Amino acid sequence: MIVLGCNDVRVDFGTTVALDGVSLSWEEAGAIHAVAGQNGAGKTTLCRVLAGLIRAERGEVIIEGTAYPATAQGRRREGVELVHQTFALPPQFTVAEALQLFRPGTARGGLFQRGRMERRWADQLEELGFTVSPKVLIRDLAPEQQQAVEITRALSSGSRVIVLDEPTAVLPPEAIAGLFDRLRALAAQGITFLVVMHKLRQVRELAGTVAVLAGGKVVLPPTAMGTIDDDEIARLIMGASSEQVVTGASAVAMGLADAPEGLTGATASGNATSVESGGLPGRDQRDTSEAAVLRVQDVSVSSVEGRRGLRSFSVEVFPGEIVGIAGVEGNGQQALVDVVVGLLAPREGRVVLGGADASGLRIAARRRLGLRYIPADRQSRAVSLSSSLWVNAMAAPVSSGYGVSGVVRRGFLSERRLRKRGEERLQRWQVRYAASDQAMRELSGGNLQRVVLAREVDDDARVIVAEQPTQGLDLGGTELVWEALRRARRQGVGVLLVSSDLDELFALSDRIVVILDGERVEELRPPYDRTMLGHAMVVGAAS
């Protein structure tokens, strides 16, 4: 009997296809099954379809032998429960109240007795082996305890099949073993788990079978872990994905065609990189790397919900060099970018910009030192949608005070001249617009990113932090961004490129630093090896 499965499921989000004819089935009940895949592979969408939270364009879902149409309006499906990546528990509720919210039970007239309700949930929690008091507030719980409450919530529906979306992503490393033990114990009682994870080591440790999704397609049907090795899985996760996701096959062709330039770039800056003599930079060598335009030194940042921290992370960027940061999303990239840009004060360590310690500097001061930032979250961080184009193009120069001499004097500005200055920037980057005072929201994605480039890639730039700079862009847009970063490199700018698009990293980076769990685990140099990188991203440093 198929305990959980789906048949030919297709889900579209607008023009993007999240799941494309996915058919999967798991037959062994009381076992732990894994689905692996890169970010954007469709894992979370699959979870939601299985739990009936979203509607598919076509296909069906199979639960304990019964097939249901997956196209039914998003009503929660009985029999399968999903534990979300972000917990859906009200922070100021007690554990018992939160559980009661989800499972009102048969309270007469909706009325309950607190003591009885707490006992009911205390019993449930205990039965499942969780040591969480029902009287504690959700917000006072550790992540693993919140997860325990979520799992209790899911199981209390009587479901025998539980889908967990990235259950380890929010947990501190020391809590992961506990979760695994608990899941195994519950599986032994006949509960079937489908676990979505991207860390191969954890998949291997926990799951009996693994399936791999890439680009919304199944590239590996559920396969017993014993019959497949890590390299093969890593190759499937990494390899297939980059051909279909994000930039499309032709971008890859372009990326490959451009690869030699990446190599020559590396050679050109060889004098600088040779200082490190390969591998991780040693502590004693730091003083010799005076020329670096950006140095992140032993930076530590605490993890918070929704953002992985950093552990003694170091990276240097030299003039005329593009350093790629590779890693599965959510491994500390966000914290790294925020620390460099100045949005987040690190707990330990420092950030040096062009020789000056920038750790205590505000964003404006860092920008005056030549720091530029192309954010991944364009609509919130990069642009103001309701402001005009020229305001967007000139926002940072005016606010931080650079590149506006003759236009802003002692805080006074000439709107006309400022607008003209903005238009010059827009025109240099060939932004297509009717009038420069039209609202930003009227621009298309690629055009919008041009405005960001017009602001961030200017003559005064010394370091550019580019975060997923081509995400969601078409071929032309991608090419433009790549060319912009390459040109910046030729002019001696250092670029820190954070990307989950491996081809982008390969095409642009002189070096690639791999980040995993907030730690620097590997540094790779051309010629890049996809398997090696994939292995480092999901498993860690090569032994």
Closer CB to other proteins, residue 91 or residue 190?
A: 91
Q: Which residues contact 66 (CB under 8 A, 6 or more apart)?
A: none
Rounded to a whole number of angstroms, the minimum distance from the CB of residue 64 to other proteins is: 22
Residues 6 or more apart whose CB falls under 8 angstroms from that of 72 comprise 52, 55
Q: Which is nearer to other proteins, 269 or 436 (CB)?
A: 436
**96 alpha-carbon distance from chain centroid:** 32
Return the structure tokens found at 475.
């071929």
Closer residue to other proteins, CB minimum distance, 53 or 291: 53
Q: How far is the CB of 522 from other proteins (least distance, A)?
A: 26
User: In this structure, what token pair is assigned to residue 274?
Assistant: 């040779």
d(CA 310, CA 335): 7
Distance CA 293, CA 238 (A): 31
The burial class, CB within 10 Å (0-12 / 13-18 / 19+), for 104 is exposed
Instruction: Considering the complex, state which of residue 199 and residue 372 has its C-beta at the smaller distance from other proteins.
Output: 372
User: What type of residue is 446?
Assistant: G
363 SS3 class: helix
Q: How far is the CB of 412 from other proteins (least distance, A)?
A: 6
Our CB check for other proteins shows the closer of 62 and 371 to be 371
CB of 23 to other proteins, least distance (A): 28
**Main-chain dihedrals φ then ψ at residue 300, nearest 5 degrees:** -120, 140
Which chain residues interact with other proteins by CB under 8 A? Answer: 76, 84, 88-93, 97-98, 100-102, 104, 107, 109-114, 139, 301-302, 304-307, 341-347, 362-364, 367, 373, 375, 377, 379-388, 391, 395-396, 398-401, 408, 411-415, 437-441
Q: How far is the CB of 115 from other proteins (least distance, A)?
A: 11
- What single DSSP character describes residue 137? B
Is the distance from CB of 292 to CB of 316 less than 8 angstroms?
A: yes
Give the Cα separation of 149 and 350 in Å (integer).
38
Residue with tokens 């497949």: 228
Nearest CB to other proteins, comparing residues 409 and 432: 409
Distance of closest approach, residue 354 Cβ to other proteins, in angstroms? 17
Nearest-approach distance from CB 206 to other proteins, in angstroms: 25
Q: Which CB sits closer to other proteins, 101 or 224? A: 101
